[in-house]
């Protein structure tokens, strides 16, 4: 365990009101007034923050701390996933209560997660400030979150509980809980382009779950291993899943229900997130490894969807994890867990053109654009 930090000492010694003031001041804004065309939001998991990067300058312009004071106690979070609404009006973050009080000492066995809820936080992209949060469950391990096109409803999964939650964003409340299955371990998810279905990656269930959002029925497509994340092409014709332990990418043709696999290179370490280009021609897949005692990867694969094969291998940082393609299809952004940075890949040359320092364990990633809204 980590030693008690200065922040922890302050948190334990001072009144909640002073701590709250400290937290407010920690919302550092390097960029000053908001006047940006495009921003990348990154969940910095081990720091409990969300980093905001201006794509023009390729610099961090704000760091949003999600730490709170609850009942006189300082509560920190691990920020796992972040998602910008397609209409660009809200940003959601899944945040799980951190074990221990801001880096407890080894002699302190108190568990701060007891009695505190994992949450979904709401951020206003106009000001990049937290506007509220919604408690979900205790010890739920909230994984990924997605938002419908209208920005009225969000869907978040609890990996620990095996549950999908439908959130009414107008009233900021849970409207429905759907069981995906005991020990199914739902993790990543994506919406179909018409918002009628959800495709959920099941780590424990070794499948992609298709959730019909009209009646919340669940149909599973069994696969050969643990599925970490899904991707859906913008034309809606294909759904993909990263099958981590099989070193493959699974595909489903939504028009014919035909299924198959795309083999990754023999030296693949294990794929996590994946994202299709806006023209539905290519799929970018991170080669992370690291999880489940696998060697660490440092590349990104590009798959030709028509040919169903890898046609580019692109060097990136250590343990690339999160990935997103901008709405114009010009750049690919990749979070690298272990090198603590973000790779910028030119989608024309398929070369890394920049590396931006982010922080400890940068994880989920999403893009906001002033004119085009958020990446789905």
Q: What is the pLDDT along the chain (376 residues), one digit of tens a residue?
A: 333 333 343 344 444 443 444 444 445 444 345 799 999 999 999 999 999 999 999 999 999 999 999 989 999 999 999 999 999 999 999 999 997 544 443 334 445 556 899 999 999 999 999 999 999 999 999 999 999 999 999 999 999 999 999 999 999 999 999 999 999 999 999 999 999 999 999 999 999 999 999 999 999 999 999 999 999 999 999 999 999 999 999 999 999 999 999 999 999 999 999 999 999 999 999 999 999 999 999 999 999 999 999 999 999 999 999 999 999 999 999 999 999 999 999 999 999 999 999 999 999 999 999 999 999 9
Distance CA 167, CA 213 (A): 13
φ and ψ at 159, to 5 degrees?
A: -65, -40
Distance CA 2, CA 47 (A): 13
pLDDT tens-digit map of 78-101: 999 999 999 999 999 999 999 754
DSSP 265-313: PTT---EEEEEE-TTSSEEEEEEEE-GGGPPEEEEEEEEETTTTEEEEE
332 is in which domain, residue-wise? 6-374
Domain count, the chain: 1
Residue 1 belongs to a domain: no
pTM: 0.90
Give the pLDDT of residue 3. 36
Give the pLDDT of residue 94. 99
Task: Report how many helices (DSSP H) and strands (DSSP E) the chain contains, helices first.
Answer: 2, 31
| Mean pLDDT estimate for the chain | 91
Contacts of 240 (CB under 8 A, 6+ apart): 230, 231, 232, 249, 250, 251, 252, 274, 276, 283
Please provide the size of the chain in residues: 376
Residue 183 belongs to a domain: yes
Nearest to 155 by CA among 163, 170, 145: 145
pLDDT tens-digit map of 284-338: 999 999 999 999 999 999 999 999 999 999 999 999 999 999 999 999 999 999 9
The C-alpha angle with vertex 149 and arms to 233 and 35, in degrees rounded to 5, equals 100
CATH code where residue 331 lies:
2.130.10.10
Contacts of 108 (CB under 8 A, 6+ apart): 100, 101
The C-alpha angle with vertex 168 and arms to 26 and 185, in degrees rounded to 5, equals 80
Residue 128 belongs to a domain: yes
């Amino acid at each position: 365990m980590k030693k008690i930090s200065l922040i922890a000492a302050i948190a334990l010694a001072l009144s909640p009101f002073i701590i709250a003031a400290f937290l407010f001041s920690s919302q550092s804004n390097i960029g000053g007034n908001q006047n940006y065309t495009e921003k990348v939001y990154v969940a910095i998991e081990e720091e409990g923050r969300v980093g905001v990067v201006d794509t023009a300058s390729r610099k961090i312009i704000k760091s949003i701390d999600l730490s709170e004071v609850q009942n006189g106690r300082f509560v920190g979070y691990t920020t796992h996933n972040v998602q910008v609404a397609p209409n660009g009006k809200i940003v959601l973050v899944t945040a799980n209560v951190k074990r221990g009080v801001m880096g407890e000492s080894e002699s302190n066995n108190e568990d701060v997660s007891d009695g505190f809820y994992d949450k979904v936080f709401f951020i206003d992209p106009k000001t990049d400030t937290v506007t509220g949060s919604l408690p979900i469950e205790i010890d739920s391990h909230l994984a990924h979150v997605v938002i419908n096109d209208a920005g009225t409803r969000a869907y978040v999964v609890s990996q620990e509980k095996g549950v999908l939650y439908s959130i009414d964003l107008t009233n900021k409340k849970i409207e429905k809980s759907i069981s995906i299955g005991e020990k199914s371990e739902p993790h990543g998810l994506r919406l179909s382009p018409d918002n009628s279905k959800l495709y959920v990656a099941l780590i424990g269930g070794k499948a992609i779950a298709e959730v019909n959002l009209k009646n919340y029925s669940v149909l599973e497509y069994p696969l050969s291993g643990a599925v970490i994340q899904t991707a859906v092409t913008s034309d809606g014709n294909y759904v993909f899943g990263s099958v981590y332990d099989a070193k493959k990418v699974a595909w489903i043709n939504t028009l014919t229900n035909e299924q198959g696999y795309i083999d990754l290179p023999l030296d693949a370490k294990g794929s996590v997130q994946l994202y299709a280009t806006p023209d539905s021609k290519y799929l970018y897949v991170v080669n992370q490894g690291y999880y489940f005692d696998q060697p660490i990867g440092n590349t990104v694969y590009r798959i030709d969807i028509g040919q169903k094969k890898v046609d580019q291998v692109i060097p990136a940082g250590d343990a690339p994890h999160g990935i997103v393609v901008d709405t114009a299809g010009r750049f690919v952004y990749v979070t690298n867990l272990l090198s603590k940075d973000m790779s910028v890949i030119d989608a024309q040359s398929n070369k890394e053109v920049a590396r931006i320092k982010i922080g400890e364990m940068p994880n989920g990633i999403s893009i906001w654009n002033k004119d085009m809204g958020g990446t789905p």
